């Protein structure tokens, strides 16, 4: 219990209190693991185990690692906030830049399909600035085969 800090510790204590009173408690908490110090988000359910008279006798805590979910949520929020005020061509530029930054990728582009064998970029983020637009064709690539199967 000592690894929970601040509001997460308060939430853990409230969940345990609920379980002691016979009701399941739940909270989401963050902490760096004790050995590797890797940041983890856990969804924790604390449930009472009752005796034959229905009174809580023991407590069972089950936790699920939701770190990937929380990272994805943070990335999506950053993209949404970064593009919220943009419209038109600026929206696509903002989307490419925000997506690259949220995902920690050096490059990102947003494209539109012109026809079943060709697409063009609407925005291309090159890591520090926007690159020139480009078009690309699919013939002879795995994408052309996938498109042929999916849209045949």
Asked if 87 and 145 sit in the same domain, the reply is: yes
In a domain, 141, yes or no: yes
Gyration radius of the chain over CA positions: 24
Percent of the residues in the chain that have a pLDDT greater than 70, as a whole number: 91
Q: Is the pLDDT of residue 45 over 90?
A: yes
> Can you give the pTM of this predicted structure?
0.65
99: in domain:
yes
How far is Cα 30 from Cα 81, in angstroms, rounded to an integer? Answer: 23
Question: Quick one: pLDDT at residue 110?
Answer: 92
How many domains, the chain? Answer: 2
β-partners of residue 142 are none
What is the arithmetic mean of pLDDT over 97-111?
A: 92
How far is 47 from 20, CA to CA, in rounded Å?
Answer: 8
Domain extent for 34: 6-65
Q: Is the pLDDT of residue 152 over 60?
A: no
More confident call, 106 vs 150:
106
């Amino acid at each position: 219990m000592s690894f929970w800090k601040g509001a997460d510790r308060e939430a853990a204590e409230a969940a345990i209190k609920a379980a002691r009173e016979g009701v399941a408690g739940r909270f989401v908490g963050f902490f760096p693991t004790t050995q590797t110090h890797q940041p983890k988000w856990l969804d924790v359910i604390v449930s009472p185990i009752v005796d034959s008279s229905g009174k809580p006798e023991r407590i069972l805590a089950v936790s699920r690692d939701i770190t990937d979910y929380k990272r994805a949520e943070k990335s999506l929020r950053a993209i949404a906030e970064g593009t919220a005020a943009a419209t038109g061509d600026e929206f696509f530029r903002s989307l490419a830049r925000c997506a690259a930054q949220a995902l920690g990728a050096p490059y990102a582009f947003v494209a539109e399909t012109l026809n079943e064998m060709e697409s063009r970029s609407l925005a291309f983020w090159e890591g520090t600035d926007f690159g020139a637009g480009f078009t690309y064709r699919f013939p002879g690539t795995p994408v052309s085969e996938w498109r042929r199967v999916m849209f045949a």
